[in-house]
Structure 1
Amino acid sequence: MEPITTIQDLRLLAKRRIPRAIFEYADRGSYDERTIAANRADLAALKLRQRVMIDVSQRSLATTIAGEPVTMPLAIAPTGLTGLYHRDGEICGARAAQAAGIPFCLSTMSICSIEDVAAAVAKPFWFQLYVMRDRGFAQSLVERAIAAKCSALVLTLDLQIQGQRHRDIKNGLSIPPRLTLANALDIATKPAWAMGVLFGKRRTFGNLAGRAPGSDSLTTLSQWIAGQFDPSLSWRDVEWIRNIWPGKLILKGVLDVEDAKIAAGTGADAIVVSNHGGRQLDGAVSSISALPGIVEAVGDRTEILFDGGVQSGQDVLKALALGARACLMGKSFLYALGAMGEAGVTKAIDIIRGELDVSMALTGVTDVKSVDRNVLAQSGTGLSGAAASVAAAVATGQPGAQASAAASAA
């Protein structure tokens, strides 16, 4: 096997090693997949400013995220079905993150439960919450996160109604699950994956098992989950969560300046600029084009994190240049996990760490905390439309233009 040197190498290896339905759950987006494509294209189009003859012999990637010291500005994002990418995948991810000195966030829709992960690691991790129709159940999840000493609660805001992901339906990864001849044959050609998952701690949603109605039956449980997404969610529910959760609160899924202002007003410790990986509203702006306007509007009131297409250290550097404190990686994490398990996640973190370190040096920066828009080239960003206006405003240091462009982008 050729050396693994990029996240794309891990992606291609995962594509070979895990079933197509599982791989495409992470790899694909909703509807026509325009937003998932924009996440990557707009990041790629931003250009870095090369600097020379600056002493960069001493460099530091250390910073803080939501007040927590970290070795680099990166966290593992919450991802559903993680334990189906590799046996005990959530535990693998948490262990790799702990060893690397970065946060790991466990999803409500994980395979391993909060308690499973807490028993496997020494350091506290983050927990991501979906507020479901059954508020009593949502409260019980918060109470379990408190009992597990989770260091932050990540409240997802952008899944009141689920966007349709065509590939999941075609692959039989629907709710309730649908077994097709194609995916049955595909699984048969992945015996190492199948045996690993078969002998893992769990094969269904660990946080719901034995607690949600019908959790003894996967089909019944899936039907219950499908009916639990709540279109009536409002900012009042965020206030309710803030009152029952005593620790750090991070609001994930903000893409609009007005929403960011409301989110900052809740007293949240951080906001994650995110479009759910292009898996919800197709046709929404890329996360990176929304980032500058949100930073301009509320960056002095709360910490801004970035999520949406991060697959390299250069991507991290660009997000930091536009005002993010740190980045979350979701798809890259799942590619790595599907490719090589815990070792793959460690490899992905190391790849991004190395790329960020070198890219900082080549832009003349020695401390990640001092990264600003000066690392971006002032022209030729390559972005189109509103995203180009945002990038141009950032590069030339025109806050008024930046705010105007951000408003049009949103």
Structure 2
Amino acid sequence: MQIKYHSSYPSIDDLITRARQKIPRFAFEYLDGGCNEDVNLIKNTAELRAVELKPYYLSQHLSSDMKTELFGHVYDAPFGVAPVGLQGLMWPNAPEILAKAAFEHNIPFILSTVTTASIEKIGAITQGKAWFQLYHPAENSVRDSIIQRAADAGYPVLVVLCDVPTFGFRPRDIRNGLAMPPKMTLRNILQIMGRPEWAIKTLLHGQPAFETLKPYTPKGLSMKQLGLFMNKTFSGRVNEEKIAPIRDMWKGKLVLKGVASEEDTEMAIRLGFDGIIVSNHGGRQLDAGQSAVKSMEPIVANYKNKIKIMMDSGIRTGPDVARTLASGADFAFMGRTFMYSVAALGNEGGNHAISMLKTQLQQVMEQVCCKKVSDFPNHLIR
């Protein structure tokens, strides 16, 4: 895939500014915000950016290679698209745009249970190469059906979410009526009128819906009834008893997302997970928690090479990916960066963000004389 990005938006700040101008405020705040007072949201990136790398300028260095093997597949870069809920609310067709770009660039795209594209559609777009993130349903029959659909669509990796035992307290979403049940206020309607391109494209594409969940949703529900149904359908807290049948059922690779402690890492290994994603849900669940990179430090120290260790939360740029890998992660995932880009640039957004990140990461690798991704820890200043 040709590495080409929009030169008018060469940084994450450019994309954020443009996204803010293109989409209604309630959609931008859903994307941009954390929980409570945004303490952990801010810490995620700030503490990651405290990580420093050591360059070796006089070393013999011919080239840098970003290719990374993960679960038997060689990806063209050591980062992927993290799962994000309600993507079509922020920009129509957003999950399809990102899945297509990820497939063309040969990086993983993770589909969320609660986003706005179906398992089958994303499976077709990615030719069965996407990953699927499972919000644990309350009913075993729904769980089994969703997992079977992911298997039938060829998904190689199932990601079990564990860090949403309860919905985060998000003041912006509450004010904007995006908590469950959702509502449309006069203020939101005025915001939509001020973003005509978003409004027209949303109208043409159709109201965003939880496409994967449509087979299990009674027809004709009002928005309030849908919210109550969603609250009833999902049981966010997972444990050994809930995980065991998933491991027995799923024949592909199994990943636990939302890990933030050594104890949960040890349990993940014991329960047969192939990998973990160290994460605090992008600072959207526990404001009093550690940043993701701080949570990852003891996990890497004690469990490196015992299980694949990946990380999301706070990673925004190519240098952030480098910092994450230098800190010991095998792979990095980002959600907001890709969504800012799609909100800013529409159909171009997926290709732009991936190309920009690849270019940034390549520059860091060449600057510090890092030949391959697995060498990044050798450049960490401790």
TM-score, length basis structure 1: 0.88
* Structure 2 residues without counterparts, runs of 5 or longer: 1-5
Determine if contact 1:113/1:206 at 8 Å carries over to the other structure: yes
Q: Matches of 1:94 and 1:232 in 2, distance apart? A: 28
Aligned letter for 1:30? C
Determine if contact 1:112/1:202 at 8 Å carries over to the other structure: no
What is the RMSD computed on CA atoms of the aligned residues?
1.7
Task: Give the drift of 1:215.
Answer: 6.4
Matches within 5 A, 1:3-402: 3-200=8-205, 203-213=208-218, 216-230=221-235, 233-372=238-377, 374-377=378-381, 395=382
Q: Matches of 1:215 and 1:153 in 2, distance apart? A: 31
Determine if contact 2:134/2:161 at 8 Å carries over to the other structure: yes
Determine if contact 1:46/1:318 at 8 Å carries over to the other structure: yes
When residues 61 and 151 of structure 1 are mapped into structure 2, their CA distance, relative to the original with a 3 A threshold, is same
Q: Matches of 1:152 and 1:215 in 2, distance apart? A: 33
**Runs of 4+ deviating beyond 3 Å:** 213-218
Q: Matches of 1:64 and 1:198 in 2, distance apart? A: 41
Q: Give secondary structure in 1 for the equivalent of 2:211.
A: coil
Determine if contact 1:156/1:251 at 8 Å carries over to the other structure: yes
Task: Give the drift of 1:27.
Answer: 0.7
Task: Give the drift of 1:214.
Answer: 5.1
Q: Matches of 2:93 and 2:262 in 1, distance apart? A: 38
Determine if contact 2:76/2:106 at 8 Å carries over to the other structure: yes
Greater shift in the superposed pair: 239-248 or 272-281:
239-248
When residues 177 and 139 of structure 1 are mapped into structure 2, their CA distance, relative to the original with a 3 A threshold, is same
Greater shift in the superposed pair: 229-238 or 184-193:
229-238
Q: Give secondary structure in 1 for the equivalent of 2:115.
A: coil
2:3 aligned partner = none
Aligned letter for 2:338? F
Q: Matches of 2:187 and 2:226 in 1, distance apart? A: 24
Determine if contact 1:254/1:272 at 8 Å carries over to the other structure: yes
Determine if contact 1:95/1:121 at 8 Å carries over to the other structure: yes
Q: Matches of 1:188 and 1:309 in 2, distance apart? A: 32
1:404 aligned partner = none
Q: Matches of 1:240 and 1:73 in 2, distance apart? A: 31
Q: Matches of 2:127 and 2:266 in 1, distance apart? A: 36
Q: Matches of 1:83 and 1:193 in 2, distance apart? A: 11
Aligned letter for 1:179? M
Determine if contact 1:81/1:109 at 8 Å carries over to the other structure: yes
Q: Give secondary structure in 1 for the equivalent of 2:58.
A: coil
Aligned letter for 1:292? E
* Structure 1 residues without counterparts, runs of 5 or longer: 378-394, 396-410
Q: Give secondary structure in 2 for the equivalent of 1:207.
A: helix
Task: Give the drift of 1:216.
Answer: 4.4
TM-score, length basis structure 2: 0.94
Task: Give the drift of 1:138.
Answer: 1.6
Q: Matches of 2:255 and 2:302 in 1, distance apart? A: 17
Aligned letter for 1:143? Q
Superposed CA offset, 1:293-352 (max 9, x none): 111222221100010111111111111111111100011111111111231121111111
Q: Matches of 2:220 and 2:162 in 1, distance apart? A: 25
Q: Matches of 1:147 and 1:231 in 2, distance apart? A: 24
Corresponding pairs, count = 377
1:388 aligned partner = none
Q: Matches of 2:287 and 2:44 in 1, distance apart? A: 11
Percent same amino acid among aligned pairs? Answer: 34
Q: Matches of 1:132 and 1:241 in 2, distance apart? A: 12
